[in-house]
């Protein structure tokens, strides 16, 4: 243990790239780690765990820096960053790919598209693969292909002793179960993942914009349609603040544009839209569209940091039933009185193939949800932080009678019963797995899964 030393790329205070290396996606947090260890191999990760144990140094695990509460970093400790572990190997004979756990989504999608395949992951281009996957993972292919974890075959992980552990349905099956929705940073450091891959070429995309005056009929029509329509179609709706005055539905469909026009008719009939656009595009263009990718964004991020980084407070919930008129009214009231014009609520259709598993078949428990709700607030000046944070927290609380639960990837330290809301019936089993693989609770942060109490 005493011979352990850090390997890989090391960044410390005073280095010219330290400020870029410590930046979080949520710039509300300004943290100063003692060491940032960019691991480039599984051995580097093992050495980092060994070193942290020997030196008794607190650490956090980081990939895409998208932890909503910045729990992938810390002041004065070690950040184990795996974003440079990003190898991609596609096996076309088995329709599988072994992916470096540090891969960021847009470069990953681009590489997979060159191979004619993809995985049903998220939309934000700079999200890390490991964190997205371990929480469950959804995006614009969720309804036809399920959660990202539903295509997961195997994980390779470095455990609390620095040992390499492989988990799949046959080997360490309990850890594999927990890794499918139990969240990142709880059981070890995942270094690679094997997925079933999906052949992909062209997709049809949908974009509809309505004026704010259509609020009630549009929201009612969308929620009555999106979770129940053809499972080849995944749709979201952005309900903007009244100052912006719009509602925007987006969708991705693995069928033809002619079919898509027929499918969206209930939305077009609900209220006259301002704009409708349905087109067939190469899949990678849809990735750029839903990810808000601008030309040169990836190159800019390498030298300047994530161009989308900003201060925010987001939180979320799940709707297992349709929102009643009172729930829609609450949404409208809050968005009519938003302290920031950039605040919004996004609904993401689930169900489809994502709902074909039982809540206990994987650690991701929210299988019966019709759609998720993401409550989003952002601001420009620090003086606006408190009022916007209170706004989003009050909004979630007001809607709790109609939408509850929490998504582990939408970390929110204001939810008092966080663990119960994330995992419900699966929590005792997750604690058991945690206690087995990390009995000393080496992998911990304020919202992590605890070990069982010793009698």
Burial pattern 319-333, b for ≥16 Cβ within 10 A else e, equals beeebeeebbebbbe
Contact in structure between 191 and 101 (CB atoms under 8 Å): yes
Question: What domains lie within the chain, and their CATH numbers?
Answer: 9-81 (3.30.43.10), 88-199+426-437 (3.30.465.10), 202-398 (3.40.462.20)
Q: What does the pLDDT read at residue 308?
A: 83
How far apart (Å, rounded) are the C-alpha atoms in residues 132 and 147? 10
Residues whose CB is less than 8 angstroms from the CB of residue 76 and which lie 6 or more positions away in sequence, other chains included: 32, 33, 34, 58
- Residue 159's φ and ψ, nearest 5 degrees, are -90, -175
CA distance 138 to 147: 5
pLDDT at res. 3: 74
Q: Beta partners for 165?
A: 157
Could you tell me the mean pLDDT of each successive run of 10 residues in the chain, 455 residues long?
Answer: 83 97 95 98 98 96 96 98 98 97 97 97 95 97 98 98 97 98 97 98 97 97 98 98 96 98 97 98 96 59 66 96 98 97 97 96 98 96 95 97 97 96 98 97 97 79
pLDDT of residue 292: 85
């Amino acid at each position: 243990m005493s011979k352990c030393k850090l390997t890989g790329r090391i960044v410390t205070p005073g280095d010219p790239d330290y400020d870029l290396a410590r930046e979080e996606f949520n710039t509300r947090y300004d943290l100063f780690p003692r060491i940032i260890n960019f691991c480039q191999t599984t051995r580097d990760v093992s050495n980092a765990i060994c070193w942290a144990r020997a030196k008794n140094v607190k650490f956090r695990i980081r990939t895409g820096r998208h932890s909503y509460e910045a729990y992938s970093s810390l002041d004065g400790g070690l950040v184990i960053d795996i974003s440079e572990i990003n190898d991609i190997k596609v096996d076309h004979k088995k329709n599988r790919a072994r992916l470096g756990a540090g891969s960021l989504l847009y470069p990953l999608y681009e590489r997979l598209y060159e191979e004619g395949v993809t995985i049903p992951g998220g939309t934000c281009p700079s999200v890390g693969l490991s964190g997205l996957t371990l929480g469950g993972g959804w995006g614009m292919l969720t309804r036809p292909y399920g959660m990202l974890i539903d295509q997961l075959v195997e994980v390779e992980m470095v455990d609390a002793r620095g040992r390499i552990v492989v988990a799949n349905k046959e080997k360490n099956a309990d850890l594999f179960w927990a890794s499918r929705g139990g969240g990142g940073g709880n059981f070890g450091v995942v270094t690679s993942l094997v997925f079933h891959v999906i052949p992909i070429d062209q997709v049809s995309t949908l974009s509809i914009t309505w004026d704010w005056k259509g609020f009630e009929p549009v929201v009612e029509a969308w929620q009555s349609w999106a979770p129940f329509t053809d499972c080849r179609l995944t749709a979201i709706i952005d309900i903007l603040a009244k100052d912006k005055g719009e509602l925007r539905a987006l969708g991705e469909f693995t069928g033809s544009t002619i079919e898509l026009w027929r499918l969206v008719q209930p939305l077009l009939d609900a209220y006259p839209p301002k704009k409708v656009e349905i087109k067939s595009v190469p899949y990678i263009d849809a990735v750029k569209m839903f990810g808000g990718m601008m030309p040169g964004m990836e190159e800019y991020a390498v030298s300047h940091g994530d161009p989308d980084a900003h201060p925010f407070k987001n939180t979320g919930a799940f709707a297992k039933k349709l929102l009643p008129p009172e729930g829609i009214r609450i949404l409208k009231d809050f968005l009519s009185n938003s302290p920031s014009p950039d605040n919004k609520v996004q609904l993401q259709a689930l169900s489809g193939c994502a709902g074909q598993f039982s809540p206990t078949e994987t650690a991701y428990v929210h299988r019966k949800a019709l759609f998720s709700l993401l409550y989003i607030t952002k601001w420009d000046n620090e003086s606006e932080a408190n009022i916007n944070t209170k706004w989003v927290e009050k909004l979630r609380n007001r809607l709790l009678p109609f939408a509850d639960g929490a998504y582990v990837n939408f970390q929110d330290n204001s939810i008092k019963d966080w663990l119960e809301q994330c995992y419900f019936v699966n929590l005792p089993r997750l604690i058991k797995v945690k206690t087995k693989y990390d009995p000393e609770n080496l992998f911990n942060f304020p919202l992590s899964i605890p070990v069982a109490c010793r009698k």
